[in-house]
Structure 1
Amino acid sequence: MAVLTGVVGLGLGIAGILAFRFSERSRDAADLHSEDDLPEGIAEVLAVLPSAAIVIDAGDDVVKASPAAYTFGLVRGHSLASPEMLRVVGRVRARGLIEEIDLEQTRENSESVLRYLHARVAPLGTSFVLVLCDDQTESKRVDAVRRDFVANVSHELKTPIGAMALLAEAVTDFADDPAAVERFGGRMQRESKRLTQLVQEIIDLSRVQDHAAPATTEKISVAEVVDDAADRARTGAEGKNIHIEVSPPSDLLIEGNYELLVNAVRNLIDNAVNYSPEGTRVGVGVDLVDERIEIAVTDQGIGMSAQDTERVFERFYRVDPARSRITGGTGLGLSIVKHIIATHGGEVRVWSRLNKGSTFTIVLPLAGTANEASATDSAPAGVLIEHSADSTGTASADDDEPTGDNDAPAGDNGDGRATADAPKDLTEESEQRKLTT
């Protein structure tokens, strides 16, 4: 009896397998037949479309789907994976009208959106429905950045404009008081300069963001770029009794746009001056490391926390908003630096320690040099030169999101400490954060 039961079970198993295989072959044959029934040329057209393409037959089975459709997770087996899209397909088949749908694909076990998709669903002949789907994730991100930028610009413009309006009223009210008029007039001038600077920096940022590379380039002396940038920043530094020490080598060349590069270096020097106490020094050093030129600007200022370091290149981000209002900072300077250097094929690194100081380093490819001796041999006292060879970790920033390497900065003595006159705490027992633009 047991033997008979086993034989019967085996027979049923074999029958089941044969039935399953027959069913699969029938399904494949039906699919093949359905695809052959597609209007002439449709398969070839779908193959070259940039959109993910899916053709559904009258039974809601997927007849043909492009690789992108599978990549987006729109097709599972022979069916559409999205019930919402399947309902739209049904309406299009019934009404014969084109419909569009936006889909948000979330991560598994999470509410965070993985991908934004836009689909256009249309009748295809009398028996099929065509779905064309595009990934809108990047455009959504760009739109969000643009909206955020507009909101920030509006807020930043409103502050000086509002201040000038109030000051104008005050001048009117105190028209008979020359001292008050002079005082309010001076404040109006400062707010006007702040507004002018903000508008100019918005224009500058727009220009460098719109171009993948500078329109005009030439071989430029690093010494000329650094000296010019330092000279332009000295007026503000002298007002705070801050000494800018510069001693770049005279034989290093880079390829790029002179004014843009001077603007980038000056922005770093101005930033160092603005966030440094009176009577301190700002060092600007140049080094040649692995055929790449490093221009480091070091201050003895307030420094930054790790959280601030991660966000310092974001547009309108300020480490100390109160200090920015006093100095007239717009929060755009470092973002401009990031984009200028990125268009020149370089990167910007930042190391900082709270209440000790910061070092911002521009790294650019070398165009040519007459003498490749290291710049550290002639670096002045007080200049801290970072060396990325001692990389120990990573943190990064993209546009507006951070990754990179943690490099321990070293001074002229090559032992990981600062140069003789630079603040020792700036480099000892510290972690350098490299932000790759």
Structure 2
Amino acid sequence: MWLVIGVGLLGLFVGASAVLAFRVSEATQRRESPAVSPAQPVSDDVAALLSALRSTSVLLGPDGEVLRATPDAYSAGLVRAGHLTHSALVELVDRVRRTGTSADEQMLVPRSSVPGSDRLALEVRIAPLSAGRALLLAEDRTNERRVEEVRRDFVANVSHELKTPVGAIALLAETAADAADDPDAVRHFAASMQRESRRLSALVQEIIELSRLQAPEQEVDFVHVALDEVVAESVDRVRVEADARQVSIAVGGDRDLHVLGDHALVVTALRNLLDNALRYSPEGTQVSVGVRARGDIAEIAVVDQGVGLTAEQQERVFERFYRVDHARSRETGGTGLGLSIVKHVAANHGGEVRLWSTPGRGSTFTLRIPLADADAAHTQSAQSPAPHGAEGEDQ
């Protein structure tokens, strides 16, 4: 009997020891391994590591569920309702799990489920992790892709635009050579060559100017610029053309306003607006230039009485090489770059250019640039308000 009792006590002791050893082992594992629970599917260390990554990151579970994702993964539309939203990403993750090797791929994915939405250009890398997990890293290259497309289109447009005057000059020179024994014909062709060469020179100059304005390393030494001087210089530069077209120029508005910027660039912008207005103004009409302070912004409005612009034309008028009337542009020497230059000058000065236009009533282009000293801003004069009226685009 005592033997049976002894064996029973021994078994109880062994069982208790085993349970105790298991509990100690389990506690040790909890101390050495970060806790994982449905409420916190990744450890604090892993979460901190993902937060430190500059790339958009998504940590995926064994069943493709999103365990953790950075905020930009949601804003970019990569993750929704706890899962990846794009089938191409899901397929790439599945392939990585099957092969057990990392994968890199470039892909275009819709920004949202809305038909026709913008597409994101992504560089994606997916790496397999332990326990069936996977890490997705994505770099958004959309802006770089867009810049490259713009640069490519710009080169193509420039090549096309340069072909026209160069080809015309070559043809005129050949024709003039064939008419060497006819002085009147030679003079006629020589005049045409001069006109095309001036157009070519203007085009090259504006291409250079626009390229300089768009350069990412472009730095401008801003100084106080007197708008009175800007207006006077700009009007003086177009006075001969205005007289030739029999278009008068009226100047009014606030005086002694200053902006912080580059004097030459502001003059270039205003001169382009005046060139544009004169180009589309009928004989006997008037182009008005009005300057006023509105809050801490200086506004320079150029108003013409031209043919005006449709809503569709207004949406495209600031595009490079865009022309509303190709025939008129060729006749007047327009390059299609003037308004694009105005837009970039305004942007480089922290401002903008606004357009009001109605077909048959003309257009108003308003260059808006922050004043150099908001405290010195002049109140708009009731006697000389900025003109409001009505066209033009650089063609």
**Which band: TM-score by shorter chain?**
0.7 to 0.9
Structure 2 letter corresponding to 1:54: V
What letter is aligned with 1:329?
A: G
Distance in 1, matches of 2:64 and 2:76, equals 19
**8 Å Cα contact 1:104/1:115 also seen in 2:** yes
Describe the superposition over 1:111-160 as per-residue Cα deviations: whole angstroms up to 9, x where unpaired: 44454433122344695433211233333333333333233222211211
- 2:182 is the counterpart of 1:182: no
1:185: how far off? Answer: 1.8
Which of 49, 53, 59 is equivalent to 1:49?
A: 53
Unaligned runs of at least 5 residues, structure 2: 1-34
Deviation at 1:260, TM superposition (A): 0.7
Indicate whether 1:286 and 2:287 are aligned: no
Change (3 A) 1:34 1:375: closer
Instruction: Give the 3 Å change call, closer, same or farther, for CA 58–109 of structure 1 in structure 2.
Output: closer
Alignment counterpart, residue 84 of structure 1, candidates 88, 92, 116: 88
Match of 1:372 among 375, 378, 383: 378
Q: CA–CA distance in 2 between the matches of 1:43 and 1:56?
A: 13
- Give the C-alpha shift of residue 187 in structure 1: 1.3
Residues 351 and 123 of structure 1: is their aligned pair in 2 closer, same or farther, counting only changes over 3 Å?
same
1:100 aligns with 2:101: no
Aligned residues: 355
Q: Which residue of 1 aligns with 2:198?
A: 193
Give the aligned partner of residue 151 of structure 2: 146
Larger Rg: 2
Q: Secondary structure at the match of 1:201?
A: helix
Kept after mapping to 2: 8 A contact 1:348/1:361: yes
1:69 and 2:73 aligned: yes
Structure 1 CA distance for aligned equivalents of residues 376 and 69 of structure 2: 60
Alpha-carbon distance change, 68 to 269 in structure 1, aligned in 2, over 3 angstroms: closer
- Helix, strand or coil at the partner of 1:364: strand
Which residue is 2:175 aligned to?
170
Shift of the 249–106 alpha-carbon distance from structure 1 to 2, 3 Å rule, reads closer
> Does the CA contact (< 8 Å) of 2:253 and 2:386 recur in 1?
no
Offset of residue 345 of structure 1 = 2.2
Please state if 1:264 is matched with 2:269: yes
Q: What is the CA–CA distance in structure 2 between the aligned matches of 1:242 and 1:173, rounded to whole Å?
A: 40
Q: Offset of 1:334 from its aligned partner?
A: 0.9
Matching of residue 223 in structure 1 with residue 228 in structure 2: yes
Measure, in 1, the Cα distance between the counterparts of 2:82 and 2:325: 58
State whether structure 2 residue 386 is matched by structure 1 residue 385: yes
Q: Which residue of 2 aligns with 1:349?
A: 354
Q: Report which stretch shifted further, 87-96 or 180-189.
A: 87-96
Counterpart of 1:221, as a letter, is A
Alpha-carbon RMSD across the aligned residues, in angstroms, is: 3.1
**Aligned pair 1:234/2:212, yes or no?**
no
Q: Which residue does the alignment assign to 2:15?
A: none
Q: Identify which of 335, 340, 361 aligns with 1:335.
A: 340
| CA spacing shift, 1:79–1:358, aligned 2, 3 Å | closer
Tell me the TM-score normalised to structure 2 length.
0.78
Letter in 1 for 2:211: S
Aligned-partner residue type, residue 372 of structure 1: H
Q: Which amino acid aligns with 1:177?
A: D
Q: Report the secondary structure of 2:260's partner residue.
A: strand
CA distance in 2, matches of 1:294, 1:69: 41
Report the Cα offset of residue 60 of structure 1. Answer: 4.6
Contact 2:102 2:125 in 1 (8 A): no
Q: Tell me how far apart the structure 2 counterparts of residues 99 and 169 of structure 1 sit (CA, whole Å).
A: 57
Displacement after TM superposition at 1:73 (Å): 3.9
Question: What is the rounded CA distance, in whole Å, between the counterparts of 1:61 and 1:346 in structure 2?
Answer: 46
Residues 196-250 of structure 1 deviation map (CA, whole Å, 9 limit, x = unaligned): 1111111111222236986112112211110011001112112212222224554
Q: Are positions 1:300 and 2:312 aligned together?
A: no
Gaps of 5+ in 1: 1-27, 387-408, 410-425, 433-437
The aligned residue for residue 314 of structure 1 is: 319
Which amino acid is the alignment partner of residue 287 of structure 2? V
> Does the 8 Å CA contact 1:286/1:375 hold for their aligned counterparts?
no
Q: Kindly tell me: are residues 179 and 214 of structure 1, through their superposed partners in 2, closer, same or farther at Cα, counting changes over 3 Å?
A: same
CA gap 1:372/1:105 in 2 versus in 1, 3 angstroms: closer
For the structure 1 residues 212 and 351, does the alpha-carbon distance in structure 2 shift closer, same or farther, using more than 3 Å as the test? farther
Structure 1 pair 72–112 and aligned structure 2 pair: CA distance change class (3 A): closer
Instruction: State the AA in 2 paired with 1:232.
Output: R
Partners in 2 of 1:240 and 1:76 — Cα distance?
62
Q: Secondary structure at the match of 1:251?
A: coil
Aligned-pair CA distance for 1:97: 4.6
Query: Within 1, Cα distance between the matches of 2:131 and 2:234?
Result: 70
CA distance in 2 between counterparts of 1:274 and 1:252 reads: 28
Deviation at 1:269, TM superposition (A): 1.0
Residue 385 to residue 78, structure 1, CA distance change in 2 (3 Å):
closer
User: Could you tell me which residue of structure 1 aligns to residue 21 of structure 2?
Assistant: none
Other-structure match for 1:243 = 248
Cα distance in 2 between the residues matched to 1:147 and 1:213: 20
Alpha-carbon distance change, 60 to 355 in structure 1, aligned in 2, over 3 angstroms: closer
Please say if residues 242 and 280 of structure 1, whose CA atoms lie closer than 8 Å, have aligned partners that are also in contact: yes
Using a 3 Å threshold, how does the CA distance of structure 1 residues 77 and 309 change in structure 2: closer, same or farther? closer
- Further displaced range: 125-134 or 306-315: 125-134
Q: Distance in 2 between matches of 1:318 and 1:253?
A: 33
1:11-30 to 2 correspondences below 5 Å: none
Distance, in Å, in 2 between the alignment partners of 1:172 and 1:119 is 62
Report percent identity of matched pairs.
47
